[in-house]
Amino acid sequence: MRWKTLEEGIQQLREVAVLEVLFGRGGQHDNDPDKVRCTGQMLWNLATLGPSQYATYIATIHPDNNRETVGSVANKLRNYESIINGPMQAQVSAVAKELREEMREMREEVTEKMEEMMRRNSSHVAPVRVTGPRVRAQQPPARERGYTPRADLWYFLHDHGEDMGRWDGKPTSALAARVRELKERNTNRGGSTKMKVASTSHDQAASQGEARENRVYWTVWIRWPGTSEPQKYEALVDTGSQCTLIPSEYVGTEPISIAGVTGGSQELTLLEAEVSLTGKEWQKHPIVTGSGAPCILGIDFLRNGYYKDSKGFRWAFGIAAVEAEGIKKLNSLPGLSENPSAVGLLKVEEQRVPVATSTVHRRQYRTNRDAVIPIHKMIRELETQGVVSKTHSPFNSPIWPVRKPDGEWRLTVDYRALNEVTPPLSAAVPDMLELQYELESKAAKWYATIDIANAFFSIPLAAECRPQFAFTWRGVQYTWNRLPQGWKHSPTICHGLIQAALEKGEAPEHLQYIDDIIVWGNRAMEVFEKGEKIIQILLKAGFAIKQSKVKGPAREIQFLGVKWQDGRRQIPTEVINKITAMSPPTSKKETQAFLGAIGFWRMHIPEYSQIVSPLYLVTRKKNDFHWGPEQQQAFAQIKQEIAHAVALGPVRTGPDVKNVLYSAAGNNGLSWSLWQKVPGETRGRPLGFWSRSYRGSEANYTPTEKEILAAYEGVQAASEVIGTEAQLLLAPRLPVLGWMFKGKVPSTHHATDATWSKWIALITQRARIGNPNRPGILEIITNWPEGENFGLMDEEEQEQVTRAEEAPPYNQLPAEETRYALFTDGSCRVVGMNRKWKAAVWSPTRQVAQATEGEGGSSQLAELKAVQLALDIAEREKWPKLYLYTDSWMVANALWGWLDRWKKANWQRRGKPIWAADEWKDIATRVEKLPVKVRHVDAHVPKSRANEEHQNNEQVDQAAKIEVSKIDLDWQHKGELFLARWAHDASGHQGRDATYKWARDRGVDLTMDSISQVIHDCETCAAIKQAKRVKPLWYGGRWSKYKYGEAWQIDYITLPQTRQGKRYVLTMVEATTGWLETYPVPHATARNTILGLEKQILWRHGTPERIESNNGTHFKNSLINTWAREHGIEWVYHIPYHAPAAGKVERCNGLLKTTLKALGWGTFKNWENNLAKATLLANTRGSTQPSRPCPI
């Protein structure tokens, strides 16, 4: 079978090697196909069946060298592919063009010589009379014109015993001349090659006829959905077919288009059915079916394992099937159920779940006719199993039957209304993407998966919690005695109970997502033992496990919808076939369905967002559906990208692993990709591709800011994949780290100061995490566009620190050296009106801590005091050396090299005395006498990955009794205040504790001292405090001097977008009476604000003297200021983040929303039609005075 891509060719080569392992002699390969010696015949087949671009290179590989194995040949071919497809592609293309010209000249030369030879030999060939018109045909192919590929010439010479070393580098014409010489020599000896050539066409025709007669047909039994008796078919075994096709009247709901090798296509459907080759063992498989479908057994089904034909021969397709021979399968264990409706009962007390805060009663709506009978049988069966029971309840939710891909039905209930009134519950279900990252890091060889049967229905509910889950079917009300599907807390409760059962049974290492479990290992038996242990734990706990839902051990497996092999994530073949067979959408709904099908695989596709952006345009509500050339091109391109998507992973760790993050900012959005490379690899392996379009004002950023934004997003994504400890090589198109370490915002920026602070905080923190000998981030500029000014200025470069005196990791210290190790830490807090600091030292060998306290100073000062305390201990006990471990980069950098610089600069920096000069001088003097080695300890390590060093650092943290700052932009208090001011402003001027929590949630650690100082100096907070001391604005006071209509408060509220595109309502409240006016608009802009004021206030109530609003851009701008000045209106802006300042309009906003929701029967449906009535109702019962003017 011909191969198109290099991986397909290597796969075929390994399949031949597997046969050599199984049936070869000697047994010298250790059952490893990669160690099989590559013979000349194997290379010949590989070259002749593949693209011509690889044939020439394959010919240069010497098979007689015993060092050439299947693995080494595969590596050489991958390196060759990286050369012709890598960054040097342009140069290679140029060289290839020159070579093609030379080949053309050589071809013409060979053609002339061949014609001359044919004329010389024409006397040996009998003349043939040709009848018919003399029509000059087109130029025949190269082979027919006498040109022989270099690879064929090379193999001919090699097979005839030539020394190929002397032919290396010789032109093709020389090789062709030697081949002709050898052929003439064979002819003179009596051999005639012409007879063989003459009989070629006859032999080929005969072989084709013989192939038709020798086609392999197997008997296949199909059990279609809804039937009990299987049907028998005689199917052609076709390994070239990517899917299995069966002619049948049973059709599926999913249309699919099948294309043949001749270019024709056929519209069929996809349906999941049970398939068997023996009539005994059944497995579900998707089948392409239709009345006109051919009867073909495709490679998608044949890859599943071994098969026996009618003659008793065993067949295996693919390496995975061959390697799985003799492997004991988990589905052969006792206790597994063959019943598709199996339900277990967990041996726990009945679960008390959150109960709805109000009664929800929804009538049953019409259901699909096809679902009536299956759902009725299902309810009866569930009732016999005790899963549901009859009841009388004030609650009721409608049944919502869902059809499965195999044609069967799933009983689900529409609990959306119930979910809205159900109290929250802490979610315990892990993130699916995080599970994939963790599984990717295992890089295992074998996998096995376990799926619990009807896990929700196995969990009993307490009697008092059951009435809220009631539903009605055929006039009878039922409720669930077990955990129902569709309720929002069911996944959380189910996941937690399964996890508890596995922990109680001491299950081996595994990953769990609700009722799906996967185990892995490097040996099949290891995986089988792990899976067997987990199955025994689950069965003992009371769960039921279906035999058909247990897979493995296997090399390839699907988990969470993803195909896994050797730690790599791949798109399953059936998903690729499904997506590539989709027809162009004809509506918005179909387009959304297509985007939903491909969106899950966006990490496999570079620049996904840019490719599919034309498709998203037609799905917007404000746009009419129009499928144009741009959409068709995007549709075809994304399907092609899906078909050729690469595998991601595995995630490897180690000092030699290089993690490269490429980031770029284009005209339409951002894109970044993460790659890993280890020694011996020419091209790295991708770990993921990300992309997104610009949001809001990001499109107006400067080119430098866009590149920084792309790097920021990339660092966040990369940290989720490889963690925060691994070194990251950042490869942007413009420099990024320089701006980050300068710690200040350039004058020509468009992004806000808060955004810049966020960028600086994350990237500088990530750069300083990890081993000090290997900075967390290194930067390599991949492309610097010339001829453009990016606003970069020459400023002082970041000072580098030499790290000569670095201590080894604590767990690598010799046992006799650990007693000289101390961990230090310091903290600071505000007590009353004073600051108090505390410094602590922890001895891991003695398991004791020593601390000292003082007043005045910051946490950085406490860090210095801790170092001084450690030096006191070492000097007092006369230690010969000191190993100092700290989580403060300031201390580490100072002891690594800054002290020497400061001393040479007379303890000054930029003409000013350094901070805490006296303490630094004391430390420097003592360090000269006592050898001190310092190591920075990462404080951002989760407990699951914490080692002994991190645990000791946690001990000294507890001794200090306060969280310490782990970030300083420039190691000065100024930088800490800069971050604290950003966090306080961005969090909405909250209090100290709220600001501290807000910053910690975003990865920034601040001290309480710095937050308190920022809040004390904040002018906005002072204004809010002053406003709280005065009476509310509507309690007489300044409103008493205004007459009706002279003072108004205005605001915007957001509602669901209507079909007319309106989404906002301008609310205007008269200050003295509370009279409400409303004006719906599509956008909250200054022009719409002026239009609403003129129509609803100026024309109805006259020109006001005073209008109050918040600081939004739709109120605070030059257009509003000009309009107010022209009308003589005093426009006043409220105090930010202080709700009482806008008390009247805020109360009316809440009242208006409540009224609109009540008129819409619990939703905002048709709110624009109900707005006038809601406004009238608000004015009727929302006024503070008994009399008010009537609306005009």
Residues 1-11 have pLDDT tens digits of 677 788 888 88
Q: In the structure, what pLDDT confidence band is assigned to residue 76 with cuts at 50, 70 and 90?
A: confident
- Nearest alpha-carbon partner for 1051 in 1127, 1150, 1128: 1150
End-to-end CA distance of the chain: give it in Å, rounded: 84
Q: What is the pLDDT of residue 797?
A: 33
Counting beta carbons within 10 angstroms of the beta carbon of residue 195, is it exposed (0 to 12), middle (13 to 18) or buried (19 or more)? exposed
Q: What confidence category does residue 824 fall into, taking pLDDT thresholds of 50, 70 and 90?
A: very high
Instruction: Give the Cα separation of 50 and 2 in Å (integer).
Output: 6
The model's pLDDT over 451-467, given as tens digits with 9 standing for 90+, comes to: 998 899 999 999 999 99
According to DSSP, the residues that pair with 677 across neighbouring strands are 658
Tell me what pLDDT residue 856 has.
Answer: 76
Q: Is the pLDDT of residue 142 over 90?
A: no
DSSP SS3 for 50: coil
pLDDT above 90: residue 482: yes
- What would the mean pLDDT of 171-200 be, rounded to a whole number? 58
Backbone angles phi, psi at 570, to 5 degrees: -135, 155
Q: How far is CA 220 from CA 44, 216, 232, in A?
A: 37, 13, 6
SS (H, E, C) 783-852: CCCCCCCCCCCCCCCCCCCCCCCECCCHHHCCCCCHHHEEEEEEEEEEECCEEEEEEEEEECCCCEEEEE
Q: Is 718 helix (H, G, I), strand (E, B) or coil?
A: helix
Mean pLDDT (whole number) for 317-342: 73
**Confidence bin at 991 (pLDDT 50/70/90):** confident
State yes or no: pLDDT of 193 exceeds 50.
Answer: no
Residue 975 burial by Cβ neighbours in a 10 Å radius (0-12, 13-18, 19+): middle
- The yes-or-no verdict on residue 475 having pLDDT over 70 is yes
**How far from 1135 is each of 504, 710, 1028, 1070, 1111, CA to CA, in Å?**
56, 35, 11, 19, 8
Closest by Cα among 1144, 1078, 1135 to 1111 = 1135
pLDDT band at 307 (very low <50, low <70, confident <90, very high): low
List, for residues 1057-1101, the tens digit of each pLDDT value: 888 888 899 999 988 888 889 999 998 898 899 999 988 888 888
The Cα–Cα gap between 948 and 964 comes to 20
Helix (H, G, I), strand (E, B) or coil at 672: strand
DSSP, collapsed to helix, strand or coil, labels residue 289 as strand
Q: What pLDDT, on the 0 to 100 scale, is given for residue 97?
A: 52
**DSSP conformation class of 894:** I
Residue 60: how many CB atoms within 10 A of its CB? 13
Q: Are residues 221 and 276 in contact, defined by beta-carbon separation less than 8 angstroms?
A: yes
| 630: its two tokens | 């741009």
The pLDDT, as a whole number, for residue 889 is 72
Cα–Cα distance list, 1008 to 297, 864, 965, 980, 996 (Å): 70, 19, 9, 9, 7
The tokens 């967990």 sit on which residue? 346
Residue 561 has a pLDDT of 86
- Nearest residue to 1083 via CA among 1049, 1059, 1117, 1114: 1114
pLDDT at residue 853 tops 80: yes
769 touches 938 (CB < 8 A) = yes
Which of 100-104, 417-421, 912-916 reaches the highest mean pLDDT? 417-421
Cα–Cα distances in Å, from 506 out to 510, 937, 1109? 11, 32, 62
Q: Which two tokens stand for residue 342?
A: 């199996």
Which helix (H) or strand (E) segment holds residue 257: the answer is strand 254-259
Q: Are 468 and 355 in contact (CB under 8 A)?
A: yes
For 712-750, how does the pLDDT look when each residue is reduced to its tens digit (9 = 90+)?
A: 898 888 888 887 777 777 777 667 777 777 666 776 678
Share of the chain above pLDDT 90, in %: 10
- Which has the minimum average pLDDT: 39-53, 173-187, 892-906, 954-968? 954-968
**DSSP-assigned letter for residue 903:** H
- Most confident option among 201-210, 301-310, 372-381, 794-803: 372-381
Torsion angle of C-alpha atoms 300, 303, 306, 310, degrees rounded to 10: 30
What pLDDT was estimated at residue 200? Answer: 31
Give the three-state DSSP class for 388: strand
**Residue 194 phi/psi, 5° resolution?**
-70, -35
Structure confidence at residue 458 (pLDDT) = 92
Signed CA dihedral, 737, 738, 743, 748: sign only: negative
As a whole number, mean pLDDT of residues 522-550 equals 91
Out of 49-58, 434-443, 786-795, which region has the weakest mean confidence (pLDDT)? Answer: 786-795
Six token digits for residue 252: 């599926």
Q: Which residue has the tokens 């004991």?
A: 328
The yes-or-no verdict on residue 140 having pLDDT over 50 is: no
Please name the residues in contact with 419: beta carbons below 8 A apart, sequence gap of 6 or more: 487, 488
pLDDT value at residue 470: 93
Helix (H) or strand (E) holding 996: helix 992-1001
Encoded tokens for 728: 């990251």
Residue 23 pLDDT grade (very low, low, confident, very high; cuts 50, 70, 90)? low
Peptide bond into 133 cis (omega under 30): no
DSSP 277: S
CB 728 within 8 A of CB 714: no
Judged by average pLDDT, the poorest of 137-141, 267-271, 274-278, 1175-1179 is 137-141
Strand partners for 861? none
Q: What is the pLDDT of residue 803?
A: 39
pLDDT: which is higher, 281 or 111:
281
DSSP letter string, 336-359: -B--TT-----SSPPB--PPPSS-
For 163, the token pair is 């020394």
**Exposure b/e, 279-296, CB count within 10 A at least 16 = b:** eeebeebbbbbbeebbeb
Cα–Cα dist 757/999, whole Å: 12
Q: What is the mean pLDDT of residues 165-188?
A: 71
Residue 372 has pLDDT above 70, yes or no: yes
- As a whole number of angstroms, the distance between CA 1109 and CA 1178 comes to 20
Q: What is the pTM of this model?
A: 0.47
Written as six digits, the tokens of 1176 are 């009238």
Average pLDDT rounded to a whole number, residues 535-560: 89
